[in-house]
Structure formats: C-alpha cells, structure tokens
A and B are shown apart, each in its own frame.
Chain A
Amino acid sequence: MHNETLKSMLVELVPLAVFEEGSEWPTIMIEPASWKSLALLLTTTPALQFDFLFCLTCVDWKTHLGMVFHITSTLHRHTVVVKAKLNRDHPEIDTVSDIWKTAEFHEREVYDLFGVKFLKHPDLRRLFLTDDYVGWPLRKDFEDAVNMIKL
C-alpha cells in the first residue's frame, strides 16, 4: 500500500496519533499506555495486517528514553514505525510478545541494556550480561571505570 494511503488509514483508526516527518516510512508517536491496543489494531485489521515485527529497539535521548518499533506486513508489503516516549526514571511499557513472538527476545535485550520494564512479559531477565550485573550499559550516563578504557 502506498505511504499516503497507509497514512490516511492510520489517521482514521488512531485519531490521537501524532505523525513524525523525515523518515521513509510513516512514523507514529504514541503514549506508552496505548501501545497494546494499537498493536492489536495493527495486526487484526484486514487492510493493515502488520504481522512481521523486524526491529525493536530503544534510544536514550538523555531527557527520556524512546522505544522504536519497526513493523511490516508480509501480505500488503507496507511498513510502519511506532515510537513511544518513556519516563527515564520509571521506564515501563506493555509487552507485545503475545502478539509477535519475536518480541520476547528483543524485549529481554532492551531490558538488559536500557532497563525498560515490559509489563506482563513471560520471562523478563537479563539476556547478555550476567544476572548479577548492576547498571544499564547502553544508557548515555553509564560509567564503568574498571572495564571501559576511553580512547
């Protein structure tokens, strides 16, 4: 589906969505609380059918954390990007591992590296680092004087 048609459909379905410009795909900015309902809408609407979540990541913007989800449809071949702003001190968002099974591992990785809590995740624990590791390495204010040798 063409980007413009997709955008108009999304505006109809999600009236509160704010669109961001400058990317090659339609980008929606939402509140973290409305992520789960939007995700269900994106997968179940026949004209959209976004069934393939191919990238789930987080960016540390120093004042807040931003979640980024890249989703595409294998049937209609269109892509959408969903972004959500999270509070830096208590970053929490709903899990989507029951909708897209790939999210289970991706969300564990984001929890491991950024500290974002995914509510109702079946098994939220660290993935790459040891279980007793302290700190969220990919945040911008992470300091590790012992291990990190600065150039």
Chain B
Amino acid sequence: MSVSDNKDPITIESQQTEPFPGDVHPTAGGGIVISKLDEVINWARSNSLWPLIFGTSCCAIEMMSTAAAKYDWSRFGFEVARATPRQADVIIIAGTIVNKMAPVLKRLYDQMADPKYVIAMGACATSGGPFFYNTYSVVKGADHIIPVDVYIAGCPPRPEALIHALITLQERIKSGATREQIKVEKF
C-alpha cells in the first residue's frame, strides 16, 4: 500500500511514536513503506507457493525427486503441484527450452494469474547449458522468453539445490524484492 500524502491518520500516528515495521523504498513524491498488512500477505504467499508441473528434460527427474519422500518439498508449502497454469503460482522451468517450445512457455506464463514467480532450474534454462555451442534449435536461456526470478546452477542440480532456490524465492517474496512486487510498486 503506498502512502503519498500522509493523510491517513493511522500512518501519521505510528510514524510519530515508533519505527515502522518492514522495509522502506524511497520514490519521488514521498516515502513508500510496506505496512504490517503487506508483510502478512507476503508471508502467506511465500509459504504456500504452488508450482506448475513443467519439466521438459532431465531436470524434471530431479524435480520429481525433490517432490518425493527423501527431499520432500511439501515441508515448505509446495505441496500441491498443479497441472494447469491457472491455479499455479510459480513455474519451475526444469529442462531445455527449444525454439518450438518457446511459444508454449510464453503462453503458459501468460495464463498464470498474478502474482507469479519464475525459477530457472539447471544450466539449460539459465543459459542454454551444454547445448550452447553449435545448436540451431535451442533457446540460450529461458530469460529470453519470460522474466526469471531465481536461477539454479547444475546439470542437473541436486534436490538440495532446488530447495535452496525455493527458500531463496520465499525470502525474496518476504522482503518484497521479486520482479512482481517491484513492478507493482512503481505505480
């Protein structure tokens, strides 16, 4: 919630008594603060991110391992993996993106409802990976197609690396630094 001209009585009162909870992002026209409500909303969003099942190649197997019993990701709230983008929050691009698949990825991303986040898993989704040189059909990095929040290195990354990336994404959501949130605040 942005406060532009200090007319809100609650804001004025708490500004005078104690420091505001949450981060402060300065913009033109006054200070924007993330209020307690924003913090609660971010905390709730980050602890129940539902991933979209989108695995194109080998990284999909490590994603399935992360979902299975030994490196369980539902401990962190990623319990419900949805097959349809309309009900998913985060798309984990696990695998290589080729020129024929790129419009499909873009369409899936557009079909997801806001707020949505993107994790590029593995070397192929980050930059083309082992298929960078001398290939005529590989997109050299999924961020040519859609904006990415977290990149994971590895070919394929271990399940612990994927969980580390998920926790990083959760912390970024809580601190308000994902592309989604910065985009909204610029209004």
Where the two chains meet, the residues of A that have a C-beta atom closer than 8 Å to any C-beta of B are: 128-130, 137, 142, 144, 147-151
Contacts and interface: CB of A to CB of B under 8 A. Distances in A.
Contacts of B140: 149
A108 to B, nearest CB: 15
B100 A147 contact: no
B132 A147 contact: no
Nearest to B134: A148
B187 interface: no
On chain B, which size bracket covers the interface?
10 to 19
A130 B99 contact: yes
B134 A150 contact: yes
Interface in B126-140: 132-138, 140
A151 B134 contact: yes
Contacts of A137: 136-137
A52 B133 CA distance: 36
A128 B137 CA distance: 10
Interface string B131-157: 011111110100000000000000000
Contacts of A130: 99-100
Given A129-B100, A130-B99, A130-B100, A150 B133 contact: yes
A21 B103 CA distance: 49
Interface in B103-139: 132-138
Contacts of B135: 147-148
Nearest to B128: A149
A70 to B, nearest CB: 26
A27 B136 CA distance: 33
B132 A149 contact: yes
A149 B128 CA distance: 11
B100 A149 contact: no
A128 B101 CA distance: 11
A142 B136 CA distance: 10
Contacts of B132: 149
Contacts of B100: 128-130
What are the nearest 8 A-B pairs in CB distance? A151-B133, A147-B136, A144-B136, A148-B136, A137-B136, A149-B133, A130-B100, A148-B134
B72 to A, nearest CB: 37
Given A147-B136, A148-B134, A150-B133, 11 more contacts: A128-B137, A129-B100, A129-B137, A130-B100, A137-B136, A137-B137, A147-B138, A148-B135, A149-B133, A149-B140, A151-B133
